[in-house]
Amino acid sequence: MPVDMARLLGAGGEGDNWLTYGRTYDEHRFSPLQQINAGNVAGLKPSWHFDLPVDARAQESTPLIIDGVMYVTTAWSHVYALDAATGMLKWSYDPKVPGHTGIDACCDVVNRGLAAWQGRVYLGTLDGRLVALDAATGRPVWDVSTIPAGSRATITGAPRVIKGKVIIGNGGAEKSARGYLSAYDADTGKLIWRFYTVPGKPGVKDGSASDEVLAKIASKTWRGQWWKGGGGGTVWDAMAYDPQLDLLYFGTDNGGPWNKKFRSPGYSDDLFITSIIAVRPDTGEYVWHFQNTPGEMWDYSATQSLVLADLTIDGQVRHVIMQAPKNGYFYVLDRQTGKPISIHQYVDSLTWAKGVDPVTGRPQINPDAQYDHTGKPWLGAPGPGGGHNWMPMSFSPQTGLVYIPVIEVSFPYIGQSSYHPTLFDFNVGIDMNAGSLPQDPVIKAAAIKGLKGHLTAWDPVAQKEVWRVTVNHPWNGGTLATAGHVVYEGDAMGTFSAYHDTDGKLLWSVQTGTGILAPPISYAVAGTQYIAVETGWGGAFAFSAGELALKTQINRGNIPRVIVFALNGTDKIPAPPPAAAAALTALPELGNATQIMQGKLQYHTFCNNCHGDTAVSGGVLPDLRFSAALRDDDLFQKIVHDGILEPKGMVAFGSVLQPKSIELIRAYVTHRVNESVAEAKAANGASGAGAAN
């Protein structure tokens, strides 16, 4: 039976299946199955696993389950169709995303999942295409580009299908993109409507669903020549749909560039960045918006999970939409009007605002946080990773609680005095170099110790935390709630755990040997309930936090895999390969202190966002300190300047970096090798070469 509107509307009752990204249009990620429950989950065992033959990059997919078949996506936008009971491969599809697209993705070459409709599954690819695949064979039926030629926008999120329209946005606020959401005809791939989230060049109409509201409401909230930098507001993840109200909700990203001075100088709201927007799914017609962070300049996107529920608040049933966006406040809004019902801080540390007006939802912004005006560095909490990122939260209608993977990481925001966007830079207008980790051992140890995350059970009616489990890593996985009173979450340390949903008591856990980011799902085949999760470590924190990410992660390897558990499971999770004993040896320095500092600035402009802060990889991409090319100036130029490793995603930087700048970067990384050797020596009290990590 094909997936149609009746099945999608009734998806909550199809316990065996998982038909849409958040399982149901209200995005609860709540499974009604209870064969596996709080009383017996301690006996959960691996049932099957499937090693995904893809690059060991972040894996973020929510698999779909349709009548015994699992459809799961991977890094580089591949799709695998597996027998959901056995893990046997049915088909796979590789959209052949060009390697150079990798650098356009802010946060790894990830994909979060598919949508299903009438015997097809729909995939957004990293290079901005929307592809319809025959669900039985994996054969492409149509394939359209959703982004302008030359754009650096990428698709990492899962589409949704509503009434025969495939809805998709994209990411790229840090890459000079202008945000929009589009609807395509599921049969033909024809564009039906598009809603731009920020105004374009004044006087130029898009001929889109958003023209009128942008002219009427949004344009006057911008200053300067914002359109030249794109403006941001990209729609890269969250959506939800209310069939009764016939409203499609989506969240928008931060402004681009972050530094408001170079985006829209002065005090202005810059609508509709960092907002929830409600539109008609048939036409894209605007109905309401709610902006959580007016004039945003800290990467506080509002693209995090949107969850719809009917809650009894002050004796009245309220139809709400809930979000825990990056900015650290938990929002409960009336989803018919977009008006706030209640707003409360859900993170421990929040420094950018002094509170929120309960009626309008407008924050009272801390003047010190406005680094564009003060010209001074400011330590912000949350940082750019947010209090909560893309890892989905779940909601149990049984407990009335929301289960949020919370991040507690601050970040020093230092505005640049001048700004020149480039092709490969992280175009944000702040000094990324200044935030790099000091090598002082005391400061370093304190910084590593200070990193944490927690799984928080949040009561959205009382707006308070009910329980939490602290994890010694901030970058943990999405959550699943079930009718068996069990909440599941994987973490960066490779542990996959089951907690009691009312008190957070640990009921079961297993070490998978690789970091987990993806949200688990539950489904059933022939009367057996399964819990499934995709494993694989990576993403923004793993990339940019370098040593902080590495030292707090178990670093046992990085294995792209689907692992499925059941009570009668008889599979074994293969042990991770033993970590190679990495040792560094001292190298001759290639520059003086000034040149090394210049190389550091170049490194933290062009390289750190993937290869890690202070030239220490967070465990995903190659650690440049170990690169053989460090000892070979010609090979180093061939890789960095000429791009001989482009198929792997390492593009040619020749258009933005002169050979002599590249040589300065080599001098800086070489210096870091020697610092690491000295550090290891001091730690081991040993002579000669020491282990680097």
Where on the chain is the footprint of Ca ion (CB under 5 A)?
A: 173, 254, 299, 301
Are 173 and 255 in contact, with CB atoms under 8 Å apart?
yes
Distance CA 616, CA 427 (A): 22
Distance CA 632, CA 299 (A): 38
In the numeric block, the tokens 């000034």 are attached to: 594
| CB of 232 vs Ca ion, minimal distance in Å | 8
DSSP-assigned states of every residue in 164-203? TEEEE--B-GGGT-B-EEEEEETTT--EEEEEESS--STT
If the CB atoms of residues 116 and 369 are measured against Ca ion, the closer one turns out to be 369
If the CB atoms of residues 254 and 259 are measured against Ca ion, the closer one turns out to be 254
DSSP-assigned states of every residue in 410-478? -EEE-B-SS----SSS---SB-TTTTSPP--HHHHHHHHHH-EEEEEEEETTTTEEEEEEEES-S----
If the CB atoms of residues 236 and 488 are measured against Ca ion, the closer one turns out to be 236
Distance CA 642, CA 22 (A): 43
| CB of 485 vs Ca ion, minimal distance in Å | 35
DSSP-assigned states of every residue in 72-130? EE-GGG-EEEEETTT--EEEEE-----GGGGGG-TT-S-----EEETTEEEEE-TTSEE
Q: Where are the beta strands (DSSP E) in 501-588?
A: 506-511, 521-525, 528-535, 561-566
Order of strands, sheet of 191-196, starting from the edge strand that comes earlier in the sequence: 160-162, 165-168, 180-185, 191-196
Helix orientation angle between 659-684 and 593-606, rounded to the nearest 10 degrees? 100
In the numeric block, the tokens 């230092």 are attached to: 414
| CB of 253 vs Ca ion, minimal distance in Å | 5
| CB of 117 vs Ca ion, minimal distance in Å | 29
632 catalytic per annotation:
no
Distance CA 451, CA 428 (A): 24
According to DSSP, residue 583 is labeled B
Order of strands, sheet of 464-471, starting from the edge strand that comes earlier in the sequence: 394-396, 401-408, 452-459, 464-471
If the CB atoms of residues 47 and 301 are measured against Ca ion, the closer one turns out to be 301
| CB of 318 vs Ca ion, minimal distance in Å | 30
According to DSSP, residue 543 is labeled H
Distance CA 392, CA 394 (A): 7
According to DSSP, residue 602 is labeled H
If the CB atoms of residues 325 and 618 are measured against Ca ion, the closer one turns out to be 325
In the numeric block, the tokens 């910084």 are attached to: 447
| CB of 299 vs Ca ion, minimal distance in Å | 5
If the CB atoms of residues 147 and 640 are measured against Ca ion, the closer one turns out to be 147
| CB of 174 vs Ca ion, minimal distance in Å | 6
If the CB atoms of residues 15 and 128 are measured against Ca ion, the closer one turns out to be 128
If the CB atoms of residues 26 and 299 are measured against Ca ion, the closer one turns out to be 299
| CB of 262 vs Ca ion, minimal distance in Å | 16
Per-residue 3-state assignment (H helix, E strand, C coil) for 247-296? EEEEECCCEECCCHHHCCCCCCCCCCCCEEEEECCCCCCEEEEEECCCCC
| CB of 160 vs Ca ion, minimal distance in Å | 21
If the CB atoms of residues 427 and 456 are measured against Ca ion, the closer one turns out to be 427
Q: Of these residues, 127, 253, 269, 299, which one is catalytic? A: 299
If the CB atoms of residues 50 and 250 are measured against Ca ion, the closer one turns out to be 250
CA angle, residues 419, 422, 423, in degrees to nearest 5: 160
Distance CA 513, CA 267 (A): 48
Q: Which positions are catalytic?
A: 299
